[in-house]
Amino acid sequence: MKKLLLSLSVVALAYWSSAQVIVAGVSPNSIVANYTFTWAEPGAWGTPDFNIPGTFVQDTLAMANDGTTGLNAQGNPLSASGCNPLTPNSLAGKIAVVYRGDGGGSIPLNGACEFGSKAFNAQEAGAVGVIIINRDADIIAMGGGAQGANVTIPVVMISLADGALLVEAMQTESVVVFMGNKTGLFANDIALSRNAALIPKLGAVPALLAQSGTEFNFEIGARVYNPGSNAQANVSINAKVVGPSGSTVYDNTVTGLSIATTDSVDVDPSQASNFPQFSLSSYPAGKYTLTYTISLDGIADEYDSDNSISSTFTINEDIYAYAQLDATTNLPNPTLFYRPGDNLNTFSICTVIDNPNASRVGAAGVYFAATNNTASLAGEEIALYLYKWEDAFTDLNDAAFGFNSLTEIASGFYYFPSDLQNETVYAQYNTAVALENNQRYLACAQTTNIEVFLGHEGSTNYTWNSDYYLQPTSPGESDGTYFATGFGADIPNSLGVKMIDVATIGLGENSSVDGNAYPNPASDAVTISIDGEGVANLTVTDIAGKVVISNAVTLNGGKANVNIASLNAGIYIFNVALENGKTSQFKVTKK
């Protein structure tokens, strides 16, 4: 998981050049792919600027070996962590491969040292580039540390799984990788970029706010690049949305796009070439996937790994979030953990709520995740706030835009019951609050501990949405100052707001109903019995507060069967939310 000190500010992205920066396997065929990566950008590092066309390195990989004995937590040799000086010229003319160590922050463990130190040691041994393999499934941004400014060769990071693929191939074959800007390297080459594509307005949409296409919809569009040396006269772009059942619910193509070499063409509602708006008459619950795909007419694209990009949104029972939901937990998925580098006191992540049908729901609490740089999270306090955002502005460009009129309407505190590092938890407001139509709200989670990092999500990029709609989504706060796009529109936070139905019950009334489960204790399955019918949302947590089950159940005669075979022995809290807004909570013991 990523823990990084950043500046809360809007970053202007060089759309054209950054869209052509890749890390790609060249040979053998088993590793030919376009890898997800982060790179050491100039500034804190002395590395080359990949945003400049033609800036790249392509060469054979070689594993670093600093002589350290033993294995890291993933079973990889500590000698390949590259924290100690390497034999001179041992990596001459090669792209060095090194592992990220086990430790981090102020607790260095096996093979842990600054990224800049690893890269500098490889450079001193003659390497022409460095690939750092992360210890986690996801990639992270890399600070240069004390040696970063002295590193003058390209440095990238790839995921643990992608690194394993390359290392396995290195055992028997010569492995060649390209890293850098591919502008002009191919004659016929077109590309898409996540920085320049319209995506769904939310990652998680409560069903009560998406009952028809007039209630939930979004524009479709993307920028198509031509980094190739040949002009292209007939480029096509297709936009397709696949629904929860696997069937296609939207499928449109724009053809005949002409793009000069090193130029681009926008396909969006503001252009003559555009797509119809996405909207459905109804939205069955589940995950929807939007995919853009580009192609050349009768010509093979010589580098087609960047010809398709996808994003998702989930129609769900009760979570409102800009981050995508995890496929297993159905909760906001934190893959990155940030805090401002210059923060001295309060740090908040916030989610904007603004909906024409908001009076159907009430805000009951928030989902969020955190990690501590130096210590356990047990007992850590997180403050919760829900504000009515009453600044009168039209969009981000409005001179009246600001965070000057925030009226607190709900609050609460969450205390971590145990060391739930990186885990998404639920924190409840002291009192649930009914929302109003077309009123902006700001739901925030705040820490005052400068060692606590809060969860963000790295796979959703709202950059073009922010530029097109000009609406705030995931603001951040540092020491009392708010920043409209947090750490950037390409890094939304993973804070989700729990919405409850207020159509059939009044907030403040007794909304609980009796419930129980039998047999109790149980081994593999229990039957829950509740005074209610129909579809209900079941969330099961262990006594530490960690969510272990989150799914929908159907109550027939007030009963439903729940499989608990995968749970460890212990006591669990069952929370059931009925369609009418009422809830039930009871304990179950797993034998």
**Average pLDDT of span 240-249:** 97
Confidence bin at 504 (pLDDT 50/70/90): low
What integer best gives the mean pLDDT of the chain?
Answer: 89
Confidence bin at 267 (pLDDT 50/70/90): very high
CATH topology of domain 194-316: Immunoglobulin-like (2.60.40)
Confidence bin at 544 (pLDDT 50/70/90): low
| pLDDT value, residue 552 | 85
**Average pLDDT of span 246-253:** 98
Residue written as token pair 């990009």: 309
**Average pLDDT of span 482-498:** 93
Tell whether the model's pLDDT for residue 417 goes beyond 50.
Answer: yes
CA distance 266 to 263: 10
- CATH 2.60.40.3880 residue ranges in the chain? 194-316
User: Looking at 10-24, 310-324, 440-454, 567-581, which range is the least confident one?
Assistant: 10-24
Confidence bin at 5 (pLDDT 50/70/90): very low
Tell whether the model's pLDDT for residue 561 goes beyond 70.
Answer: yes
| pLDDT value, residue 490 | 87
Tell whether the model's pLDDT for residue 72 goes beyond 80.
Answer: no
| CATH number for the domain running over 320-501 | 2.60.120
| Of the candidates 134, 118, 4, the residue with the CA atom closest to the CA atom of residue 72 | 134
**Average pLDDT of span 470-478:** 96
Tell whether the model's pLDDT for residue 385 goes beyond 70.
Answer: yes
Which tokens go with 269? 């509602």
| pLDDT value, residue 6 | 43
| pLDDT value, residue 480 | 94
| pLDDT value, residue 2 | 34
- CATH 2.60.40.1220 residue ranges in the chain? 515-590
User: Looking at 29-33, 224-228, 413-417, which range is the least confident one?
Assistant: 29-33
Tell whether the model's pLDDT for residue 578 goes beyond 90.
Answer: no
| pLDDT value, residue 508 | 44
User: Looking at 45-49, 50-54, 101-105, which range is the least confident one?
Assistant: 101-105
| pLDDT value, residue 220 | 98
Confidence bin at 11 (pLDDT 50/70/90): very low
**Average pLDDT of span 287-310:** 93
CATH topology of domain 21-181: Glucose Oxidase; domain 1 (3.50.30)
- CATH 2.60.120 residue ranges in the chain? 320-501
- 564-570-575 Cα angle (round to 5): 60
| pLDDT value, residue 543 | 66
8 A C-beta contact, residue 325 and residue 459: no
- CATH 3.50.30.30 residue ranges in the chain? 21-181
**Average pLDDT of span 252-258:** 97
Provide the H-helix boundaries in 144-247: 160-170
**Average pLDDT of span 254-276:** 96
Architecture of the domain made up of 515-590: Sandwich (2.60)
Which tokens go with 77? 């040799």
Q: 465-474, 507-516, 565-574 — which one is most confidently predicted on average?
A: 465-474
CA distance 227 to 299: 15
DSSP letter for each residue of 88-126: TTTTTTSEEEEE--S-BTTB--TT---HHHHHHHHHHTT
**Average pLDDT of span 503-532:** 78
| Of the candidates 557, 555, 560, the residue with the CA atom closest to the CA atom of residue 528 | 560
CA distance 485 to 493: 10
| pLDDT value, residue 104 | 38
